[in-house]
Amino acid sequence: MLSRALAAGVPARWVTADEVYGADPCLRADLEIQRVGYVLAVGCDRRVPTAVGPVRVDVLAAGLDRWAWQRVSAGVGAKGPRIYEWAWIDHTERRLRDDVLDTQQWTVLVRRHPHTGELAFYRCYSPHPVPLRELVRVAGCRWSIEENFQTGKGLAGLDEHQLRRWISWQRWTLLAMIAHALLAVLAASAHEGDIVGMIALTCNEIRRLFTVLIVEPTRPVACPLNWSAWRRRHQHRAKISHYQRRGAEPPTT
């Protein structure tokens, strides 16, 4: 699917995925041929080529000095910035190609939890040298993608199909994704009218209001809009508390 998308001219600079795809050498090779960068999670027992032969990534991480680790945020989450300690290990073999130094870059990215010390590993490739923060940014994008899948399942029924044929599954999935996209667009466009002391309208809240006011417009015991405002004020206070606990400034939007 990636090959067909790239052949069709879909712009893509990076690919990121979990350990299932990180363990696929054919995927990595195909992306390298097409010169598309990747940040793919791998297990601790995966081996990477080095000057002394293949070495496990956890063995490479064990030999890192204390100064090799940097605290970098992988993006903003519900409870503040996702700050981890990161280190990277370059295992690029510099080669001359047409009398020009090849600038392709292969690295191992290591993520360490600042409190528990738990490690996670990524195999990375870039057709041109990039800084550590760029690899961390790409690695953090996977959380947003997984959150979108989870939201699509919970709000739009993405995983509630009971079908056996490809065409039927394709139609259901397309409708569910369109419904999720509608909620996301409405939530994004509502940010301009944020009220002080409330969080912005979320996809969850828009779907709840849509159900109460349009799909099932029965006479409620209390005003749905008042309940919505109460929930958003409560969530705003919880958000501020989470950010203060992590020592970070809450975003202004």
Distance in angstroms (rounded) separating the CA atoms of residues 59 and 55: 7
> Mean pLDDT of all residues in the chain?
83
The reported pLDDT for the residue numbered 244 is: 67
Half-sphere exposure of 163 (CA within 13 A, CB side): 13
Is 35's pLDDT higher than 80?
yes
Q: Which of 82, 68, 6 is nearest to 37 (CA)?
A: 6
The crossing angle, in degrees rounded to 10, of helices 166-189 and 132-156 is: 110
Is 55's pLDDT higher than 80?
yes
Backbone dihedral angles phi then psi of residue 65, each to the nearest 5 degrees: -80, 165
| CA angle, residues 236, 72, 232, in degrees to nearest 5 | 10
> What average pLDDT does this structure show over 97-102?
57
Percent of the chain scored above 90 by pLDDT? 39
Q: Which amino acid is located at 250 in the chain? A: P
Distance in angstroms (rounded) separating the CA atoms of residues 87 and 112: 8
| Banded model confidence at residue 36, pLDDT cuts 50, 70, 90 | very high
The reported pLDDT for the residue numbered 107 is: 93
The reported pLDDT for the residue numbered 162 is: 81
Is 227's pLDDT higher than 70?
no
Residue 78 in tokens: 């519900």
Q: Across-strand partners of 109?
A: 88, 122
> Could you state, in order of their start, the residue ranges of all structural domains in the chain?
2-142, 157-245
Distance in angstroms (rounded) separating the CA atoms of residues 21 and 26: 10
The reported pLDDT for the residue numbered 220 is: 57
| Banded model confidence at residue 253, pLDDT cuts 50, 70, 90 | very low
**Tens digit of each residue's pLDDT (9 = 90 or more) over 149-196:** 888 998 888 888 887 888 898 899 999 999 999 998 888 887 655 566
Residue 89 in tokens: 């290990």
| Banded model confidence at residue 79, pLDDT cuts 50, 70, 90 | low
Please say whether the beta carbons of 122 and 42 come within 8 A: yes
Q: Which residue has the higher pLDDT, 48 or 212?
A: 48
The reported pLDDT for the residue numbered 78 is: 64
> What average pLDDT does this structure show over 37-58?
91
Cα 25 to chain centroid distance, Å, stands at 22
Q: Which residue has the higher pLDDT, 142 or 201?
A: 142
The reported pLDDT for the residue numbered 24 is: 93
Distance in angstroms (rounded) separating the CA atoms of residues 171 and 176: 9
> What average pLDDT does this structure show over 10-25?
92
| 70-84, 96-110, 179-193, range with the lowest pLDDT | 96-110
Residue 209 in tokens: 């209001």
| Banded model confidence at residue 97, pLDDT cuts 50, 70, 90 | low
**Tens digit of each residue's pLDDT (9 = 90 or more) over 213-225:** 776 666 555 566 6
| Banded model confidence at residue 206, pLDDT cuts 50, 70, 90 | confident
Please say whether the beta carbons of 155 and 203 come within 8 A: yes
